[in-house]
Amino acid sequence: MKILMISDHADPLAEVGAKEAGGQNVYIFYLASFLSRLGVVVDVFTRWDRRNKKRIVKVNKNFRVIRVKAGPRHYMPRDNFLGVIGEFAQNILKQIKKENSKYDIIHTNYWFSGLIGLKIKKKLGIPMVHVFHSIGQIRFNTLSKFKLHKKDYDFFQKRILEEKRIARETNGIIATSPVEKKIIEDLFQVSPEKVKMIPIGVDETVFHACPPGQARKDLGLSTQKKLLLYVGRIEWRKGVATLLFAMPKVLKKYKNAKLFIVGGGRTQAAQKLDQAERNRLNRIVKQLGLTDRIVFVGPVDQEHLYKYYCAADLCVVPSYYEPFGIVPLEAMACATPVVVSKTGGLQYTVKNGETGYLAKPRSPGDLSGQIIRALSKQKSFFSPKCLERVHRLFGWEKIAKQYPEYFKKLIRLK
């Protein structure tokens, strides 16, 4: 089986943690890697966003990343992608013609890729499966409650209409949680049979448990303090500000607690993108008098992250909206409990009271309450349940196998 995968802005080989490189990049990388191990051939087409990146990278014998010229070969804000969709599709088709490639199915990610996929599907006559990652209407609802500019409003109207069209015209849709499956069925009025639920996975060889004491020693951290961890992009919707506002109450109960914030841009260009949010967070830290309690670690590679998860007593995911949320899975795979916002896929991945607790989104009061509740128990209370849940439901090895099975069904139906 040969898959034409499209991931417009999320290059699977990009360095993650910055403003626009996170979960989707990680998902595409692991999905393509695990599929390639099953003998499935995967070509990932992504936008050529830096002149000095190689056009084609052969990751292994079955997995290639092909950068496609669409707009300038440098950074372009994601919201400008609509203007280069035609060029993107044309250049994918050119590459296919040049190599005389024959694909069995198109797998598209995020709405711009969905639109590109619809164009290509028409030309190639093969089925298409779409993964939304984030749904315009839900994001719009979240933003309109808190902060929405007039220009955002017009853009969202366009996105909402186009996402409806993608849902109608694609052959299949993958939802990453039961919550998302229900939203897709209701919002886009598509039949339940059209939407297959396959969660995102975690690589248990990359994220695995290790003794917390040893992990702290290796990272040069105190073994005495309660250690809280945030991992992710530094972006408004990730809710880091809410976590900061929750800290004073946590510190009243656990005076020696420290919060480590992992993530953010690596390169100067990437740092520029999340600079405004980092400045805002730094101001909040100062305003709350927390300078000695919060550590901005910066970005950490996937292969080294497990040590931070292992070292932590608790990982916190305070998002305002989270379509799936890979970070809690990574934490749980390292035997670390999580406190997450009760939103989107987090309600599925985290079992309340067993692998951690759910907190009301954007509520520092509730978040601090749930953090204290989790810290009042020994980490060992949660650890076996965290490991068991990840292994049973979210190991990439098991999850990747569901893809070719589902794809075969769609190819037969076509």
Interface residue with ligand UDP, options 325, 369, 395, 404 (CB under 6 A)? 325
CB of 200 to ligand UDP, least distance (A): 7
- For position 337 contacting ligand UDP by CB under 6 A, the verdict is no
What is the C-alpha separation between 118 and 92, in angstroms, rounded?
Answer: 13
Residue whose CB is less far from ligand UDP, 17 or 136 = 17
Rg of the chain, C-alpha, whole Å = 21
Interface residue with ligand UDP, options 126, 273, 300, 314 (CB under 6 A)? 300
Output the six-digit token pair for 408.
Answer: 């075969």
Residue whose CB is less far from ligand UDP, 299 or 361 = 299
- For position 327 contacting ligand UDP by CB under 6 A, the verdict is yes
Name the segment binding ligand UDP (CB under 6 A); options: 58-66, 110-118, 225-233, 348-356: 225-233
- For position 89 contacting ligand UDP by CB under 6 A, the verdict is no
Residue whose CB is less far from ligand UDP, 188 or 306 = 306
CB atoms within 10 A of CB 156: 18
- For position 326 contacting ligand UDP by CB under 6 A, the verdict is yes
- For position 262 contacting ligand UDP by CB under 6 A, the verdict is yes
- For position 332 contacting ligand UDP by CB under 6 A, the verdict is no
Residue whose CB is less far from ligand UDP, 135 or 305 = 305
- For position 265 contacting ligand UDP by CB under 6 A, the verdict is no
Output the six-digit token pair for 390.
Answer: 């990840």
- Size, binding site for ligand UDP by CB under 6 A: 19
**Sites for ligand UDP among residues 111-150 (CB under 6 A):** none
CA 401, chain centre distance (Å) = 20
CB of 10 to ligand UDP, least distance (A): 9
Name the segment binding ligand UDP (CB under 6 A); options: 161-169, 170-178, 326-334, 351-359: 326-334
Interface residue with ligand UDP, options 17, 127, 239, 356 (CB under 6 A)? 17
Interface residue with ligand UDP, options 11, 14, 23, 171 (CB under 6 A)? 23
- For position 5 contacting ligand UDP by CB under 6 A, the verdict is no
- For position 324 contacting ligand UDP by CB under 6 A, the verdict is yes
**Sites for ligand UDP among residues 303-322 (CB under 6 A):** 305
Q: Are strands 128-131 and 2-7 parallel, antiparallel or unpaired?
A: unpaired
- For position 26 contacting ligand UDP by CB under 6 A, the verdict is yes
Name the segment binding ligand UDP (CB under 6 A); options: 64-72, 169-177, 182-190, 297-305: 297-305
- For position 239 contacting ligand UDP by CB under 6 A, the verdict is no
- For position 263 contacting ligand UDP by CB under 6 A, the verdict is yes
- For position 346 contacting ligand UDP by CB under 6 A, the verdict is no
- For position 299 contacting ligand UDP by CB under 6 A, the verdict is yes
Q: Are strands 63-68 and 56-60 parallel, antiparallel or unpaired?
A: antiparallel
CB of 267 to ligand UDP, least distance (A): 13
What is the C-alpha separation between 136 and 162, in angstroms, rounded?
Answer: 9
Sequence-ordered list of residues with C-beta below 8 angstroms from that of 205, at least 6 positions apart, any chain: none
The residues binding ligand UDP (CB under 6 A) are: 16-17, 22-23, 26, 231-233, 262-263, 299-300, 302, 305, 324-327, 330
